[in-house]
Amino acid sequence: MATISAPKADSAADIAPGAPGERAVEAEELPWIEDAGKVAPMDARALSKVFFERLQVLEEGTRDHQYARNTLIEMNLSLVHFAARRFRSREGGDMDEDITQVGTIGLIKAIDRFDLSREVEFTTFAIPYIVGEIKRFFRDTTWAVHVPRRLQELRVTLAKAKDDLAGRLDREPTVAEMARHLEMSEQEVIDGLIASNGYNAGPLDLPGEGEGPAGVARPYSDAMGAVDPALETVEDLHTLAPLLGRLDERDRRIIGMRFGQEMTQAQIGAELGISQMHVSRLLSRAVSRLRSGFFA
């Protein structure tokens, strides 16, 4: 994500006294902050109120509105870093930048939707937006296989129930015990456990079941099938079939002799009693019609 920076202030020389435009009037009411990212959190809280007051009356799209909005984002990035700390252990620190990026999206949404009349501190209002955006990121992107959201949420519920019951029973709980504990059917528990397998995917070079020629378990990749190279040809033929039906009988016959029987244009001309040049024109026209229909 690109660094968000506040627009540079116009110098006094750039704005003539009495010149039209809101910049000359409104710039005086907003303090200029050269590096909003270095504002201390306590100072940012007080300054944010000032900027929100002006943001609500500034016209969207103007330079003053952009300056106020961008400054609010930079001043409150500490909220993103605060909220992101609890999620960074999930992926071993490899996704710190991604977490910060999506958290910043949540911050921007909070700024755009915040209203001072709510009489709520902006920090209280913004944290749920930031956390919600980060959770959505993990839910939608960290699963190795996409499963319905209901089953993604069930995975978390089952994990908590499993830990709770394991502590009480001093062993792994059965499906029936988890179902009773969660007051749901055994099939729902089974569905959730199966869906949990889609959260992490192991590498294909891990040993699978069964032994190879040397008595060593073969990796899963050795048991995977390959794409049939003729499959694409079959699909093309199915697509061409109705297009061939739209050609007249002579054009279909020419296409069949040229590409089916692999006859030369001279041989086709002799068969139909027309010149090779005429065959070339008819063949070119028919192929052009097929191509346009194929890629339409």
pLDDT in tens, 108-136: 999 988 888 877 888 888 888 888 888 87
- Cβ contact 57:65 at 8 Å: no
Q: What is the Cα–Cα distance from 113 to 125, expressed in whole angstroms?
A: 9
Q: What is the Cα–Cα distance from 159 to 133, expressed in whole angstroms?
A: 22
If one counts the domains in the chain, the total is 3
Which residues does residue 217 pair with via DSSP β-bridges, in sequence order? 211
What pLDDT, in 10s, does the model give residues 225-242? Answer: 566 666 677 777 778 888
Instruction: Supply the pTM of this predicted model.
Output: 0.42
Q: Which residue has the higher pLDDT, 203 or 36?
A: 36
Mean pLDDT value of segment 270-285: 91
Domain that holds residue 17: 12-141
- Cβ contact 73:111 at 8 Å: yes
Same-domain pairing of 212 and 246: no
Residue 4, in any domain of the structure: no
**Percentage of residues in the chain with pLDDT exceeding 70?**
70
Same-domain pairing of 77 and 169: no
Same-domain pairing of 47 and 100: yes
26 Cβ neighbours under 8 A, 6+ residues apart: 54, 58, 64
What are the angstrom distances between the C-alpha of 261 and each of 250, 254, 256, 287?
A: 15, 10, 7, 16
Domain boundary among 141, 170, 199: 141
Same-domain pairing of 268 and 215: no
Residue 7, in any domain of the structure: no
For the chain, the helix, strand and coil percentages under 3-state DSSP, each to the nearest 5: 65, 5, 35
